[in-house]
Amino acid sequence: MPEDSARPAGRAGIDTGTAHAARIYDYILGGTDHYPADREAGDAMCREWPALPVHMRANRDWLNRAVRRLAEEAGMRQFLDIGTGIPTSPNIHEIAQSVAPESRVVYVDNDPLVLTLSQSLLNSTPEGRTSYVEADMRDPRTILDSPAFRDTLDLAEPVALTVVAIVHFMLDEDDAVGIVRRLLEPLAPGSHLAMSIGTAEFAPQEVGRVAVEYAARGMPMRLRTFAEAGEFVEGLELVEPGLVQVHKWRPDGADPGPIRDEDIAMYGVVARKP
């Protein structure tokens, strides 16, 4: 593991003394872009729910499968990734461009550390293109009006919108469903939405304790029921198998072993805009 001093700790805007959701995720998944506060938080959360690493890995594996299916089966050649987080190979453009080298991807995040590390997100094939927008998804207009978005994606053609493991950090007053709909609105028919949505329905006590740990660090959570998760895809055409726990969404046999339902606190869904 690199020393903390080797990381971009001095970059303006990066608060290394406060835990951050993306860096906690990176730490629990075995990454290197985190700080002592993130490690303390991740360790505390894993003590409350030892299955947390299994849950997080299953979510990441679901994203990889969903992107590959979107590229291979749905013919998606354009991707808009909201809440990108710390780069973790394979990134979306690496998966999409392995299927179709001409694929284009716009990454969006508001974390200064992600911006610092974004060079690995911009390493596109010559045929394709990637770009990065520093913006908060709570302000869709900033994303949709950004030059990087407009220069990279052709809105006359379908786009795959990915919103992964982020809406559980949006409270009711943020109107997460409305924000996702505003992001979908300008996208052409045939576009797709791929989402993973946090839930406490399968391990309410354990996930509830993890939520308390997040809230204690200034990251309150809004975990959703199956019915509430379904609100995000109302009016869209669900891709089989519909809205299910992420480990049940078209598994490809690459998982390390059997996964218990109670170890997964995330729904996954892919849906098509008619």
Just give the CATH number of 16-248+257-272: 3.40.50.150
Domain spans of the chain, in order of start? 16-248+257-272
pLDDT in tens, 211-261: 999 999 999 999 999 999 999 999 999 999 999 999 999 998 776 678 999
Distance between first and last Cα of the chain = 47
* Banded model confidence at residue 7, pLDDT cuts 50, 70, 90: very low
Contact 230, 193 (CB under 8 A): no
Q: Burial, 157: exposed, middle or buried (Cβ in 10 Å; 0-12, 13-18, 19+)? A: middle
pLDDT band at 112 (very low <50, low <70, confident <90, very high): confident
Compute the CA torsion angle 70, 198, 26, 175 (nearest 10 deg).
Answer: 90
Amino acid, single-letter form, for residue 152: T
Tokens 């179709």 belong to which residue? 100
With contact defined as beta carbons under 8 Å apart, do 58 and 266 qualify? yes
pLDDT tens string 90-101: 999 999 999 999
Give the integer Cα–Cα distance in Å for 167 and 217. 17
Name the pLDDT band for 5 (thresholds 50, 70, 90): very low
- CA 6 to mean position of chain CA atoms: 26
What number of other Cβ atoms are within 10 A of residue 78's Cβ? 24
Per residue in 150-198, pLDDT (tens digit) is 999 999 999 999 999 999 999 999 999 999 999 999 999 999 999 999 9
